[in-house]
Amino acid sequence: MRANWEKKIKKKDFVLDIGCWDGKKVLELSKKYKNVYGMDINNSKIDLADPKVKRKLKLGDVTKKIPFKRKFDWIILSEVLEHVLDDEKSLYNISKSLKKGGKLILTTPRSIKFFEFWYPAWFRWKFLGGQRHYHYAKEELFKKLNKNGLKIKEYYILGDLRWIFSRWVNIFLRYGLNMKNQIKCPKGKGFYDWAILAEKR
Protein backbone atom coordinates (compact mmCIF):
# COMPACT_ATOMS: atom_id res chain seq x y z
CA MET A 1 0.00 0.00 0.00
CA ARG A 2 2.26 2.77 1.29
CA ALA A 3 5.25 1.33 -0.59
CA ASN A 4 3.19 1.33 -3.80
CA TRP A 5 2.26 4.98 -3.26
CA GLU A 6 5.91 5.88 -2.70
CA LYS A 7 6.76 4.31 -6.05
CA LYS A 8 4.70 7.07 -7.68
CA ILE A 9 7.17 9.72 -6.50
CA LYS A 10 8.99 11.30 -9.44
CA LYS A 11 12.72 12.02 -9.58
CA LYS A 12 12.34 15.79 -9.23
CA ASP A 13 9.52 15.75 -6.68
CA PHE A 14 10.03 17.41 -3.30
CA VAL A 15 9.20 15.07 -0.39
CA LEU A 16 8.80 15.83 3.34
CA ASP A 17 8.66 13.23 6.10
CA ILE A 18 6.98 14.73 9.20
CA GLY A 19 7.94 12.99 12.42
CA CYS A 20 11.10 11.69 10.79
CA TRP A 21 12.94 10.80 14.04
CA ASP A 22 16.52 10.01 13.03
CA GLY A 23 15.79 10.40 9.32
CA LYS A 24 15.67 6.71 8.44
CA LYS A 25 12.90 7.18 5.85
CA VAL A 26 14.64 10.29 4.47
CA LEU A 27 17.83 8.26 4.04
CA GLU A 28 15.93 5.41 2.37
CA LEU A 29 14.13 7.66 -0.11
CA SER A 30 17.23 9.79 -0.77
CA LYS A 31 18.81 6.77 -2.46
CA LYS A 32 16.20 7.18 -5.23
CA TYR A 33 15.16 10.83 -5.05
CA LYS A 34 17.19 13.99 -4.62
CA ASN A 35 14.76 16.33 -2.86
CA VAL A 36 13.77 14.46 0.31
CA TYR A 37 13.57 16.29 3.64
CA GLY A 38 12.41 15.62 7.19
CA MET A 39 11.27 17.37 10.35
CA ASP A 40 10.80 16.24 13.92
CA ILE A 41 9.84 17.83 17.22
CA ASN A 42 12.65 16.03 19.07
CA ASN A 43 16.11 17.44 18.44
CA SER A 44 17.79 14.52 20.22
CA LYS A 45 16.40 12.18 17.54
CA ILE A 46 17.61 14.41 14.71
CA ASP A 47 21.09 14.35 16.28
CA LEU A 48 21.17 10.59 15.67
CA ALA A 49 20.66 11.01 11.91
CA ASP A 50 23.10 9.70 9.33
CA PRO A 51 25.45 12.54 8.27
CA LYS A 52 24.34 11.98 4.67
CA VAL A 53 20.88 13.40 5.44
CA LYS A 54 21.26 15.32 8.70
CA ARG A 55 21.46 18.67 6.89
CA LYS A 56 18.08 17.89 5.31
CA LEU A 57 16.34 17.53 8.69
CA LYS A 58 14.87 20.41 10.67
CA LEU A 59 13.45 20.82 14.15
CA GLY A 60 9.77 21.75 14.04
CA ASP A 61 6.29 21.33 15.49
CA VAL A 62 3.65 20.50 12.88
CA THR A 63 0.95 22.08 15.08
CA LYS A 64 2.71 25.45 14.83
CA LYS A 65 4.63 25.78 11.57
CA ILE A 66 6.38 23.62 9.01
CA PRO A 67 9.97 24.95 8.96
CA PHE A 68 10.47 24.91 5.19
CA LYS A 69 9.76 27.85 2.91
CA ARG A 70 8.88 25.79 -0.15
CA LYS A 71 5.85 23.64 -0.99
CA PHE A 72 6.08 19.88 -1.43
CA ASP A 73 4.82 17.34 -3.94
CA TRP A 74 4.58 14.66 -1.25
CA ILE A 75 4.24 14.73 2.54
CA ILE A 76 4.50 11.58 4.65
CA LEU A 77 2.78 11.59 8.05
CA SER A 78 3.22 8.10 9.45
CA GLU A 79 2.01 7.28 12.98
CA VAL A 80 2.22 10.95 14.05
CA LEU A 81 -1.28 12.45 13.96
CA GLU A 82 -2.48 10.37 16.90
CA HIS A 83 0.16 12.01 19.12
CA VAL A 84 -0.41 15.71 18.39
CA LEU A 85 -2.67 17.82 20.59
CA ASP A 86 -4.05 19.92 17.71
CA ASP A 87 -4.69 17.67 14.73
CA GLU A 88 -6.80 20.32 12.95
CA LYS A 89 -3.93 22.84 12.94
CA SER A 90 -1.52 20.09 11.91
CA LEU A 91 -3.60 19.14 8.86
CA TYR A 92 -4.06 22.82 8.00
CA ASN A 93 -0.29 23.38 8.03
CA ILE A 94 0.29 20.24 5.98
CA SER A 95 -2.28 21.27 3.38
CA LYS A 96 -0.72 24.73 3.19
CA SER A 97 2.71 23.15 2.56
CA LEU A 98 1.52 20.92 -0.28
CA LYS A 99 1.47 22.01 -3.90
CA LYS A 100 -1.92 21.86 -5.63
CA GLY A 101 -2.28 18.21 -6.62
CA GLY A 102 0.36 17.26 -4.06
CA LYS A 103 -0.12 14.04 -2.10
CA LEU A 104 -0.30 13.21 1.61
CA ILE A 105 0.51 9.67 2.76
CA LEU A 106 -1.09 9.25 6.19
CA THR A 107 -1.09 6.31 8.57
CA THR A 108 -2.76 6.51 11.99
CA PRO A 109 -4.72 4.15 14.30
CA ARG A 110 -8.36 3.41 13.59
CA SER A 111 -10.95 3.65 16.34
CA ILE A 112 -12.76 0.40 17.04
CA LYS A 113 -15.35 0.64 19.80
CA PHE A 114 -14.52 -1.53 22.83
CA PHE A 115 -11.26 -2.61 21.19
CA GLU A 116 -8.80 0.25 21.70
CA PHE A 117 -7.45 -1.25 24.92
CA TRP A 118 -5.87 -4.05 22.91
CA TYR A 119 -3.34 -1.52 21.59
CA PRO A 120 -0.42 -1.08 24.10
CA ALA A 121 0.19 2.62 23.32
CA TRP A 122 -3.52 3.49 23.78
CA PHE A 123 -3.56 1.55 27.07
CA ARG A 124 -0.49 3.45 28.35
CA TRP A 125 -2.07 6.79 27.35
CA LYS A 126 -5.44 6.14 29.00
CA PHE A 127 -4.39 4.29 32.14
CA LEU A 128 -0.69 4.95 32.78
CA GLY A 129 -0.29 8.59 31.80
CA GLY A 130 1.68 7.86 28.64
CA GLN A 131 1.94 9.87 25.43
CA ARG A 132 -1.31 10.79 23.67
CA HIS A 133 -2.42 8.02 21.32
CA TYR A 134 -5.78 9.00 19.83
CA HIS A 135 -7.66 6.65 17.50
CA TYR A 136 -9.80 7.92 14.62
CA ALA A 137 -13.21 6.79 13.42
CA LYS A 138 -13.67 6.97 9.64
CA GLU A 139 -16.19 9.80 9.58
CA GLU A 140 -14.13 11.96 11.96
CA LEU A 141 -10.81 11.51 10.17
CA PHE A 142 -12.17 11.85 6.65
CA LYS A 143 -14.06 15.01 7.66
CA LYS A 144 -10.90 16.59 9.08
CA LEU A 145 -8.97 15.83 5.89
CA ASN A 146 -11.71 17.17 3.63
CA LYS A 147 -12.09 20.31 5.75
CA ASN A 148 -8.42 21.10 5.13
CA GLY A 149 -8.57 20.66 1.36
CA LEU A 150 -7.28 17.08 1.28
CA LYS A 151 -9.30 14.79 -0.97
CA ILE A 152 -9.01 11.07 -0.26
CA LYS A 153 -7.86 9.13 -3.33
CA GLU A 154 -7.28 5.69 -1.80
CA TYR A 155 -7.34 4.10 1.62
CA TYR A 156 -6.73 0.75 3.27
CA ILE A 157 -7.08 -0.68 6.77
CA LEU A 158 -4.02 -2.48 8.10
CA GLY A 159 -3.00 -4.50 11.16
CA ASP A 160 -4.38 -7.97 11.92
CA LEU A 161 -4.49 -9.87 15.22
CA ARG A 162 -0.99 -11.30 14.71
CA TRP A 163 0.40 -7.76 14.44
CA ILE A 164 -1.38 -6.62 17.63
CA PHE A 165 -0.21 -9.75 19.48
CA SER A 166 3.38 -9.04 18.44
CA ARG A 167 3.10 -5.53 19.91
CA TRP A 168 2.18 -6.90 23.34
CA VAL A 169 4.92 -9.54 23.17
CA ASN A 170 7.47 -6.84 22.34
CA ILE A 171 6.31 -4.76 25.32
CA PHE A 172 6.86 -7.78 27.59
CA LEU A 173 10.28 -8.52 26.08
CA ARG A 174 11.39 -4.91 26.44
CA TYR A 175 10.03 -3.95 29.83
CA GLY A 176 9.48 -7.33 31.49
CA LEU A 177 12.64 -9.13 30.43
CA ASN A 178 14.75 -6.08 29.47
CA MET A 179 15.53 -7.63 26.07
CA LYS A 180 16.43 -5.56 23.02
CA ASN A 181 15.35 -8.19 20.52
CA GLN A 182 11.88 -7.59 19.07
CA ILE A 183 9.45 -9.72 17.11
CA LYS A 184 8.85 -8.36 13.61
CA CYS A 185 5.41 -8.87 12.13
CA PRO A 186 4.36 -7.25 8.83
CA LYS A 187 1.35 -4.95 9.06
CA GLY A 188 -0.72 -6.46 6.26
CA LYS A 189 -4.39 -5.79 5.56
CA GLY A 190 -6.49 -5.99 8.68
CA PHE A 191 -8.69 -3.76 10.80
CA TYR A 192 -6.59 -1.54 13.06
CA ASP A 193 -4.60 1.13 11.19
CA TRP A 194 -5.63 3.66 8.54
CA ALA A 195 -3.41 4.00 5.47
CA ILE A 196 -4.63 6.94 3.40
CA LEU A 197 -3.50 8.64 0.21
CA ALA A 198 -4.98 12.15 -0.03
CA GLU A 199 -4.54 14.88 -2.63
CA LYS A 200 -4.41 18.65 -2.12
CA ARG A 201 -7.31 20.25 -3.98
Give a yes or no: residue 39 inside a domain.
yes
Mean pLDDT of 122-138: 88
pLDDT in tens, 9-30: 999 999 999 999 999 999 999 9
Structural domain boundaries enclosing 18 = 2-111+132-159+189-200
Give a yes or no: residue 167 inside a domain.
no
- Angle formed at CA 174 by CA 173 and CA 177, multiple of 5 degrees: 55
Give a yes or no: residue 181 inside a domain.
no
pLDDT in tens, 81-115: 999 999 999 999 999 999 999 999 999 999 988 77
| CATH code assigned at 93 | 3.40.50.150
Q: Is the pLDDT of residue 8 over 70?
A: yes
Q: Is the pLDDT of residue 185 over 90?
A: no
- Angle formed at CA 150 by CA 146 and CA 153, multiple of 5 degrees: 100
How many distinct structural domains can be found in the chain?
1
